[in-house]
Chains A and B, each alone.
Chain A
Amino acid sequence: MPIRLLLGNEALAQGALDAGLSAAYAYPGTPSTEITEYILRSPEVARGDVVSHWTANEKTSLEAALGASYVGKRAMASLKHVGLNVAADPFVNSAIAGANGGLVINVADDPSMHSSQNEQDSRVYLDLALMPCIEPADQQEAYQAPSYAFELSERHRIPVLIRMTTRLSHSRGTITTGEARQHNPFSLPDNPKRYILLPALARQSYARLVERQADFIHDSERSPFNEYSDGADRSLGIIACGIAHGYVLEAVGAKNDHPILKVGQYPIPETLLEKIMRTCERILVFEEGFPYVEAKLRGMPVRSSPIIHGRLSGHLPRVGELTPQAVAAALGLGHVQTAEPSSIPAPRPPALCPGCPHADTCNLLNEVLNGEGKGGTVFSDIGCYTLGALPPYNAIDTCVEMGASITMAKGAAAAGLDRAVALIGDSTFTHSGLTGLLDCVNENANVTIVIVDNLTIAMTGGQPSSATNRLAAICAGLGVDPDHIRVIEPHKNHHVDNVAILEQEIAHAGPSVIIAQRECIQTARRRARRTASEGGEAR
């Protein structure tokens, strides 16, 4: 079996390909993006054996995967944690409708918010959807998880969540891979009515889902992802979920003699948890993300109640990702001499690349909105242009979630704000901006929407944007007056003209759209290099 050095995300993708994956859909988002990039580069996709696409958003990804599962195929959707909010509707309801072919939803959480707006823990969604979940502890388990999850999904006719976290998604590890499995044949569901969630039918399906929780727990008790290893010293019992298990093993080393329960499959394995709770005086819970298991333990009726320590008790930080030193400190293990951090290094925040078209758009907004007696508010969105919040630009006022720019601007304008401007990227616009623009048209909202169109999904590495070169037509189709759909090139050579155009559209007492179109400097460079290396001429 070959040994390969793969990112957790790549190991997961290879595991899915080897497990007979037929369809993979995703919207890019850090730290989940590499799962689908790996699949798109695979020989399976090149041969046409696996269908894989970036979709308009996470909801459409999950729904497409559900459709592939409906016809018996093994399918998955891959997204980041906040993307699960966007896909929450199909996520929760697919658990009631169920799976036919194996259906796996990969969600990569981002504790410490390396590239995110929050650090929500996707395991909390398990309590809403009543769905099983696998949380791999390392790259090898990330490889094994899809095969196991597809089987679980097909056995119980239920979608399965695979929860990844940044430090597994974006860490390489040496793994061994196995044999590839055949694809499922096309086969329609035996009982297609379960996909009709009319109240009368949904009540039955939901009752069945609730009944099956006992089976899911039973599976967790016997899961290879959950493991109880006994120890003689029962003054302390350790519970470690997902990659926290690795930090614990590294900290305790070979000399450990406390019982350790590794948790990697949910719903929580109640019998195993009761066992460690019954036998140990104190329990220390390590988990990446929320104190999810810790909170559940506190609510569990156990005859002898041990003291429970973890993130809720303050023995570990309540927020942020775990670190080897935080885990070792909580265990009271091996003080290591560390040098004082140097006071010399200055922060080096990320910045817009030199030559980035967004920099010109930020300068344009500042010129028009920041001048004396002008004023105005820029409701911005999620993308590279969010970096316009930082010096030297300080060009935006908000960034909340995908699509919020347009609708917040509209709400603020209707409530009395003058000169409300929305700033949104091309891909964020097609992800979650279209419906908000329709609201603007229907309400004749006094907003100016600047779509910064760099022809790609730049922040996550240059994936194709859903509606490149169709944005003006889409805006017109939604009902924006074509006279107030303006296309500009954000470049310092056009700055004066662009200032005039933005002034005109802000003065217009209804919705206007300015499409600021210039290719991302990174994708332009990559394309030029590719063209050069292919012996052609750069455009």
Chain B
Amino acid sequence: MNRNMILAGVGGQGLLALAAVIGEAARSLELHVRQAEVHGMAQRGGVVQSHLRYAGRPLHSNLVRKGTADLILALEPMEALRYLSYLSPSGALVSSTAPLVNIPNYPDESDVYAEIKTVSTHRLIDAATLAKQAGAVQAANMVMLGAGSPFLDLPERVLLTAIEQFFAGKGDSVIETNARAFELGRDAAQAS
């Protein structure tokens, strides 16, 4: 067991929550975990990324080396492409299809999707629609967690427990919405 991944998104999308849930799930299995994140200025609607690693052996680096990521899990399609050089040749790219356009020069969306499809193992997930279906647009991050889950090498019940614990303070309906979002994302990734 040894996983290196890049989580990609934009400030405000719930990327750090996504990282926290995966990190806690790995920790609960007594794996060694390292997870680098971005705080401060970069969070104001700008690029947010997290390097996440877990393994059965002690880890020493907080950052993923370029060319060694098993997974890029992206909450935004253009952000998925920003980290392509981190992906290992056998790695998977799982991205939301929903562009977040807060810059004037956002590239042509069809170019973005076409480049994502050049990665041999990729999944494009309509996270916005699935999150709405689950009951909350904010749950798109948990949709993407579900979509990425086949590549995480972590048991599903452990991920669901981590979701439950993460949202524990927010009441049962929030937990249920996020668990449903996870399941919808997982099913979409398996079907595609």
A: which residues have CB within 8 A of B? 3-5, 30-31, 33-34, 114-115, 138, 167-168, 170-174, 243, 245-247, 249-251, 323-325, 328, 336-342, 344-353, 384, 387, 459-461
Contacts and interface: CB of A to CB of B under 8 A. Distances in A.
Contact of B63 (A5, A114, A324, A349): A324
Given A114-B41, A245-B60, A338-B66, 6 more contacts: A31-B39, A172-B33, A173-B33, A173-B35, A246-B62, A351-B45
B105 interface: yes
Interface stretch (B79-87, B125-133, B145-153): B79-87
Interface residues of B, number: 51
A348 B38 CA distance: 14
Summarize A's interface: helix, strand, loop or mixed.
loop
A136 to B, nearest CB: 12
Given A34-B39, A172-B23, A353-B44, A342 B82 contact: yes
21 contacts: A5-B23, A30-B40, A114-B40, A115-B41, A115-B42, A170-B39, A171-B35, A171-B51, A172-B35, A246-B61, A247-B61, A251-B65, A323-B65, A337-B67, A341-B84, A342-B81, A348-B45, A348-B46, A351-B45, A351-B102, A461-B39
A310 B68 CA distance: 25
Given A173-B33, A245-B60, A352 B24 contact: no
Given A348-B47, A350-B46, A243 B62 contact: yes
Given A138-B60, A325-B66, A387-B44, A346 B38 contact: no
Nearest to A173: B34
Contact of B64 (A115, A138, A172, A324): A324
A328 B68 CA distance: 13
A309 to B, nearest CB: 21
B40 A31 contact: yes
B30 A170 contact: no
Interface of B: 10-11, 23-24, 27, 30-47, 51, 59-68, 78-79, 81-82, 84-87, 89, 102-103, 105-107, 111-112, 115
A5 B40 contact: no
Nearest to A349: B46
Contacts of B23: 5, 172
A384 B61 contact: no
Contacts, number: 151
A342 B86 CA distance: 11
Given A5-B23, A174-B33, A349-B46, A459 B41 contact: yes
Top 7 nearest A-B pairs by Cβ distance? A30-B40, A350-B46, A171-B62, A115-B40, A350-B44, A324-B65, A338-B67
B115 A344 contact: yes
B10 A348 contact: yes
Nearest to B46: A350
Contacts of A345: 78-79, 81-82, 107
Contacts of B24: 5
Contacts of A4: 27
